[in-house]
Structure formats: C-alpha cells, structure tokens
Structure 1
Amino acid sequence: MYHHSGNTAHPAAGPATGLLEPEDRDPEALYFQRCTWCGTAMYHRLLCPVCRGSDLSTERSEGTGTVRHSTVVHRNTPAARNVSLVEMAEGFIVRGRVMGPPIGIHSGDRVRLSTARDAVRGEPVFQLLDEHYRAWT
C-alpha cells in the first residue's frame, strides 16, 4: 500500500518505527518527532508540515533553545505570567513558559529545559541560561 506526498509515492507507514512507548520515556525530558522522509523536526504533529509524510520517529531533545517570541499574559491567572515560543536546537518550535519576571524575557534569550510538563498547564518550563549576565546590564 502506498500514500502520495506531493508527486512522490511512499510506502504507507505501518507500525511506526523509532517511536518510544510512553513507559520508555523519561518524564523530565522533552520529546519531538522527526520526519523520516525529509528530516523535518516538529513538536506534537500527526503529519510532517513540509512533505505531509506520516512516518515520524520520536527523538529526545537536548533541551536547549532560543526564545523567538514572548508575551505577558494577565488573564486566567492570579499573577502575570509569560507565554513564550522557543526554537529548540533541533529545529522545532514549542510553546512554554520561561521562569523569571515576565517582562524580563526577550526574543533571542537562550534557555534550557527545566521541566517537561508544567503541573498546571502541561507545557514545558524553561530557565534562562544567561540570566546572571543580564543583571549587570
């Protein structure tokens, strides 16, 4: 059986190869998918956004990234919090929270994963890597 992606026919994905069963995963690590056809890295997708392939392998992220966008949210929370889009070193983007004062998080800040799943929202939580330098500037 084949499925078509663009102008190329690929064998239909049977049981996904390279996927880690939930019991094999480290709960404190961040996992992402990589398309086995084109190599695109993505976070929580069913199909590759580039080639529309469905043969995705699961990989563990090294946990470092760069803030691409951050905003302060005042709604549905007792205190202001930030919501950030973080581009991970592997090339995928994930939404999460960066610890620290919400107005102190900026695009270009380097971050490291602190917790894979926030207890309240289930999103990754990051910490600033260069925080001690910012205190002096």
Structure 2
Amino acid sequence: MPTPIPDATSRSPRAESAAAATLYFQRCTWCGTAVYRRLLCPACQNTDLRVEPSMGTGTVRYSRTILSHAPSARNESLIELAEGFVVRGRVMGMSVGIPTGARVQLVTAKDTIRKEPVFRLLDA
C-alpha cells in the first residue's frame, strides 16, 4: 500500500510554514522511478512507493497563459523537477512569456487559491 503524502493540517503553525515550501513526491522502491501523487509506479506497476521531499528546483517543460474573466491572466506550467517527476504549477511574477527550459525554484507547495505548487524564475 502506498505511503500517504504528509499533510500540513496536523502541524504547528511554524512547522506548517516550513512545510509549505516542501514538495513531496514518491519513489518506487523496486525500480526507483520518481512520481507525483500516484497509486502505483507507471514503469513497473509496483504499489510500494516511499515518500521523499523534493529539492524544489526544476525546469519549465511547457507553459501556457490562461485568459479568464478575471482582471489578469495567469500561467499554467509543467515543471520537471530535479528528481525526475513532473508537476503542474504556476510561475509567479509572470503571466505570459515564460520560456521553455527556464530554471525555477519552489516557493510554496500549495497556493491558497488553486492548491497547486508555485515557483519563481531563477536568475540565469
């Protein structure tokens, strides 16, 4: 049975703020494949996945701009993290023109509105 991903709801406020900048992923104990929020490994179908914290650095693999009735646009990006898994998130500070291949750093694992990871661009 997969190990549950840690939840910040049972922590103290100080531990919760530290955990907000930690993104947890799963690694297959049999083949070593890194995955994000899966019930089984996509490579070998193993269900024994251990939870690990990510370093939080990654590369933008795909980005698009979402236009809505809200006053401003927002971006939605696929970020490949250093550990080898991909997560959907947002790059803060930019709504359009996020270059593919840009390096990013995790700011928070769950934003307050969309409950998705938020990243910032790293200087080149």
Q: Taking structure 2 as the reference length, what is the TM-score of the superposition? A: 0.84
Q: 2:106 matched to which residue of 1?
A: 113
Which structure is richer in relative contact order (CA contacts within 8 A, separation 6 or more)? 2
Indicate if the aligned counterparts of 2:6 and 2:24 stay in contact, CA closer than 8 A.
no
Distance of 2:68 and 2:39 partners within structure 1:
30
AA in 1 matched with 2:21: E
Give the unaligned 5+ runs of structure 1. Answer: 1-12
Q: 2:77 matched to which residue of 1?
A: 84
1:31 aligns with 2:46: no
Q: 1:10 matched to which residue of 2?
A: none
| 1:8-28, Cα deviation, whole Å (9 max, x unpaired) | xxxxx5x84xx6653478233
Give the unaligned 5+ runs of structure 2. Answer: none
Describe the shift of the 1:27–1:99 C-alpha distance in structure 2 as closer, same or farther (beyond 3 A).
closer
1:52 aligns with 2:45: yes
Kindly, what percent of the aligned residue pairs are identical? 57
Moved over 4 A (4+): none
How many residues in Structure 1 have an aligned counterpart in Structure 2?
A: 116
Mapping of residues 1-137 of structure 1, within 5 Å: 13=1, 16=3, 21-22=6-7, 23=10, 26-75=19-68, 77-130=70-123
Larger Rg: 1
AA in 2 matched with 1:93: V
Deviation (angstroms), 1:50 = 0.6
Q: Taking structure 1 as the reference length, what is the TM-score of the superposition? A: 0.77
AA in 2 matched with 1:102: S
RMSD across aligned C-alpha pairs, in angstroms?
A: 2.0
AA in 1 matched with 2:107: S
Distance of 2:96 and 2:69 partners within structure 1:
18
Distance of 1:94 and 1:119 partners within structure 2:
17
